[in-house]
Amino acid sequence: MSGYNAVLARNTENSPTGIGPYSQSVAFSHYNNLSAQLPIDPASGALVAGGAKEQAEQCFKNIKTIVESIAHVMEDVVRVTIFLKDIADIDVVNSVYAAYFPDYVPVLTTVAVAALPMNALVQVEALISNGEGTIPQAPQAGDLVKTVRNTENAPVSTLSAQTVAFSHYNNLSAQLPIDPKTGKLVAGGVKEQAVQCLKNIKAILEGIDVPFDDIVKVTIFVKNLSDIEHVNEVYTTFFPDSAIARTVAYFPARTTVAVSALPMDALVQVEAVVSHGDGTPPQIVEDRHGIVIKANNTAHAPLHALSTQTVAFSHYNHLSAQLPLDPATGNVVGGGVREQTEQCLKNIKAIVERVGHVMSDVVKVNIFLKDIEDSAALDEVYTVFFPGGVPARRIVGVSALPENALVQIEVVVSNAEGTPPEK
């Protein structure tokens, strides 16, 4: 595929090599996907001594080392995701985070989860812009710039931008149910909070003149998994948003995660990834229809009324998180975590193949485990599907999963051919 973008996996000895079969950084086109970093001292392979502050410092040191090893700087970070064992540690971890981003701030998502690998207190993940792209022998350095924007019609934070665009994607900070006028959580329960989260997202998109239906992926973090039906009631009042989207019943790809706690003791938080047809300057401004969203489903994987299995835009495919459901019955497969992991990955493989791709096109894998101790058993199956250990990866332990599953897996897939208009 000469002349096409290529998957570029890289590692450095100056940062932890990982506790599983994955690469530290996987670049494709104009983004670098980093594996979530634990507070591991690369010299000893052990967690650093101390509490959340020391662990956060080591996580960011590891990220900075990886970023510099691929000839980038911390200002190239577009998104940061922070996973905490205890939400009470948020202020001390934010103080460390702020020291690494003294001027420019990326978009940010922070949640507390049930468990982290190695019983860590903190885990940090980053997405990096990649101006030079990954077309062999065809560097594009200097062609693209980040565009950072905020609006007073959505909550403003000194720690994060509301949206950071690079190339053909806008990455939004996860939105809490904060009234932008008061800076406080809205009154009411989970339905009212879900409405506010989605209102905030819509306000951000209107501030950058992007339609709501340009969202390609949504992640919903809920405090109580039992609240998801109430959230879904609200969700369907926002999607589909336009007449065109309603005609084709378009829903973005979606992942639902039950977390142990959210900032400000919120009940729900919503994160969105948005297509950006115009790209970022000094790229030539393109017609908004020059690159199109392509949504696909296959009967060989589980179908869901409120999400599309995969949504492609430009050079990435975003998949909805897959549960261990047998697509023929709609039920969770029998057995333990090995059998459930295999079914999740079979579903992913069916979706990937439906859009003309192969598993080696996967650049990032996010794994949610009911029991973090199942990681080793999961890896036995995982390495069959990813024998080279190329994709970047993240594992977190969650308090609950839909359908009472033991595991849920989502992936991001490279899309070398892009998404040009239909002929």
The number of folded domains in the chain is: 3
The domain boundary, picked from 124, 143, 162, lies at 143
More confident residue, 303 or 18: 303
User: Which are the contacts of 150, defined by CB distance < 8 A and separation ≥ 6?
Assistant: 156, 161, 162, 163, 207
Range of the structural domain that residue 230 is part of: 145-291
| Domain co-membership, 35 together with 136 | yes
The confidence score (pLDDT) of residue 282 equals 64
Stretch 54-80: mean pLDDT: 97
| CATH number, position 255 | 3.30.1330.40
The confidence score (pLDDT) of residue 14 equals 86
The domain boundary, picked from 256, 291, 326, lies at 291
The confidence score (pLDDT) of residue 1 equals 42
Assess if residue 306 is contained within a domain.
Answer: no
The confidence score (pLDDT) of residue 289 equals 56
Q: Kindly tell me if the per-residue pLDDT of 423 is higher than 60.
A: no
Proportion of the chain above pLDDT 70, given as a percent:
95
| Domain co-membership, 334 together with 228 | no
The confidence score (pLDDT) of residue 285 equals 59
Which residue, among 117, 95, 118, 97, has the nearest Cα to 108 in the 3D structure? 97
Assess if residue 59 is contained within a domain.
Answer: yes
| Domain co-membership, 7 together with 138 | yes
Summarised one tens digit per residue, pLDDT across range 374-398 is: 999 999 999 999 998 899 999 999 9
Confidence of residue 194 (pLDDT cuts 50, 70, 90): very high
Stretch 11-35: mean pLDDT: 89
Summarised one tens digit per residue, pLDDT across range 232-267 is: 999 999 999 999 899 999 999 999 999 999 999 999
| Domain co-membership, 32 together with 126 | yes
| Domain co-membership, 126 together with 184 | no
Assess if residue 128 is contained within a domain.
Answer: yes
| Domain co-membership, 254 together with 283 | yes
| Domain co-membership, 129 together with 43 | yes
Indicate the pTM of the whole model. 0.96
Assess if residue 51 is contained within a domain.
Answer: yes
| Domain co-membership, 168 together with 276 | yes
DSSP bridge pairs for 294: 312
The confidence score (pLDDT) of residue 281 equals 74
Confidence of residue 419 (pLDDT cuts 50, 70, 90): confident
Summarised one tens digit per residue, pLDDT across range 129-159 is: 998 888 876 666 557 889 999 999 999 999 9
Proportion of the chain above pLDDT 90, given as a percent:
85
Assess if residue 310 is contained within a domain.
Answer: no
Summarised one tens digit per residue, pLDDT across range 285-333 is: 555 557 899 999 999 999 999 999 999 999 999 999 999 999 999 999 9
Assess if residue 102 is contained within a domain.
Answer: yes
The confidence score (pLDDT) of residue 191 equals 98
Decide if 232 contacts 374 (C-beta within 8 A): no
Summarised one tens digit per residue, pLDDT across range 354-364 is: 999 999 999 99
The confidence score (pLDDT) of residue 142 equals 57
Stretch 405-423: mean pLDDT: 87
Read off the amino acid at residue 9.
A
| Domain co-membership, 332 together with 379 | yes
The values of phi and psi at residue 383, to 5°, are -65, -20
| Domain co-membership, 12 together with 87 | yes
| Domain co-membership, 133 together with 209 | no
